[in-house]
Structure 1
Amino acid sequence: MPLSHPSASTSPGFALRMVAISMTASGLCVSSTAMAQEPTDTGSSTTWGLGLGVVSEQEPYTDIDRENTPIPLLQVENRYIHVFGPQIEFKLPSLDISDSQQLNFGIVGKYDGSGYEEDDAPILDGMSERKGGFWAGAKVEWSSSFVDVSAEWLADVSSNSDGQRFNLDLERTWHFGEHMLITPRVGASWQDEKTTDYYFGVRDSEARIDRPAYAGESAINIEAGVRGVYRFNKHHSVLMGVEVASLAEEIKDSPLVDRSTDNSVFLGYLYRF
């Protein structure tokens, strides 16, 4: 992220950045791995996989570098839990509405690596560190043959921002032959004023001529992306994902920001045992 990075072995924030990038990979391909499951995998047996991926991420802070990072991948799933990277979902009993419709419920926990250190970019010089945090909440998904709609509410249980988020997503999966699955998605992500202010606000003590004080307000980002899986066979899969978010005015108006979007690209390989 910074204009000149310390080496990975000496950078004090390297471990946190690795977790942050891993969280991005999780958001991009957690459902992609679910798409790759065999129908029988939803029973009582546990499936798991190991792999390696690369994430390229661009945050909206002024003059911050694009981050390109290799990451290890771990995926575990059965009828009770789904683990991918630093995210875990505890599955609750589902409700069958019809042969083609189902309501799925879950309790989710994840690490979100949002935030920065003051040496990440010149505009952040003199700013107090903004830390990522552990978030937890609930998720509900309406699954149908036409579209899948999911809603997720999360709260910052690590109390760094003391914020809340609500995500609403619509997606649909298309099968191309026996090996390829593509899932485009659109969504909206709301965050409260505490979250916006923590990551994009400027405190009075941090203000300077080119960085006036700024208090963040609640914001809604519009998101779009596509995820995909190419399965060579039941063991070997290639995963990909592209995500773009159009930032809310409450974020773009921050003196720390010079972009109207942020984006992430993921490419990985997963071996399922």
Structure 2
Amino acid sequence: MAGAVLACTGASAQEGGPPKWSVGGIGLYSTSPFALEDDEFNAFPYIAYRGDRFFIEGTELGFHLLKPAEDADAGFSLDVIGSARMLPGSSRNKVTADLGLRASLSGSFGTLSATGLHDATDTSSGMELKAGYSYTFTSDKLFVTPSVGVSWQNEDLTNYLWGTTAEQQAKMIEKDRDVILPVFQPNTKALNFEAGVTAVYQLSDSVNMIAFSNATYLDKDIRISPAIDKRYMLTFGLGVAYNF
């Protein structure tokens, strides 16, 4: 999600060359697929940096191994990336990090991307493969980017993201959480589908307003969990970024 926000923010300043830094804040409202868990609202600082090779995109950082030529009609890029991964829902708070590669092909047709990620913290040994497509519509100061995608998660990652271990349940009981999730492991691979839209409006030459939404449709093998009572997750965000 952070990558989509940065891409659209950067696009809004391309005529004079995108600024190197963006800082601001984003409010995030998200639903949980887990039964009895409440929807959440959180506010986060937002920071992005666009260097010649190195870049930061919110919770993601990376290095351009290959960059497209500036005057090319279509360009191929290859990036090494590292990103934070947070567990869905609010009952199993945990943050880990992934490392991987992302290949993108961009042109007048939009942007096609393929990403491979692997757990870098040895927490889950999980792996994820993702493919996506996005297209940016521009109108004066408004930039709107709808996107669609699919993600494949191996069994280790599926168990980590959507399952609950006995140890996790014990911690919920110990901390007297309002929701105690049942112990369950999907023990299967998963294929999830996503769709979203990001909008950036230029309030001035250096200030952008950002709005985005994203929906993830969960694999049926995830939804058999007794802890999950929804087919999807929804995320909505609104923020402001200052570019310099």
**TM superposition score normalised by structure 1:** 0.78
Match of 1:63 in 2: 36
Counterpart of 2:141 (choices 170, 179, 185) is: 179
Post-superposition offset of 1:187: 0.5
Counterpart of 2:201 (choices 215, 230, 233) is: 230
- For 1:131, the aligned partner's letter is K
2:73 and 2:123 mapped to 1: Cα distance? 42
**Residues 141 and 201 in structure 2, CA contact (< 8 A), matched pair in contact too:** yes
1:91 is aligned to 2:67? no
Structure 1 pair 203/267, CA: closer, same or farther in 2 (3 Å)? closer
Structure 1 pair 102/28, CA: closer, same or farther in 2 (3 Å)? closer
| SS, match of residue 65 in structure 1 | coil
**Residues 51 and 72 in structure 1, CA contact (< 8 A), matched pair in contact too:** yes
- For 1:32, the aligned partner's letter is C
Structure 1 pair 90/73, CA: closer, same or farther in 2 (3 Å)? same
Alignment of 1:50-199 (within 5 A): 50-95=23-68, 99-114=72-87, 120=91, 129=92, 131-176=94-139, 178-199=140-161
| C-alpha distance after superposition, 1:46-67 (max 9, x if no partner) | 6112111100011211111111
**Residues 90 and 107 in structure 1, CA contact (< 8 A), matched pair in contact too:** yes
1:214 and 1:104 mapped to 2: Cα distance? 37
Match of 1:250 in 2: 221
**Residues 41 and 78 in structure 1, CA contact (< 8 A), matched pair in contact too:** no
2:117 and 2:161 mapped to 1: Cα distance? 16
1:59 and 1:28 mapped to 2: Cα distance? 22
1:41 is aligned to 2:14? no
- For 2:27, the aligned partner's letter is V
Task: State the identity as a percent.
Answer: 23
Structure 1 pair 131/160, CA: closer, same or farther in 2 (3 Å)? farther
- For 1:138, the aligned partner's letter is L
Match of 2:191 in 1: 220
| SS, match of residue 233 in structure 1 | coil
- Residue range with higher mean Cα deviation, 197-206 or 69-78: 197-206
1:213 and 1:58 mapped to 2: Cα distance? 21
Structure 1 pair 77/253, CA: closer, same or farther in 2 (3 Å)? same
| SS, match of residue 30 in structure 1 | helix
Unaligned residue ranges in structure 2 (runs of 5+): 171-180
Unaligned residue ranges in structure 1 (runs of 5+): 1-23, 121-128
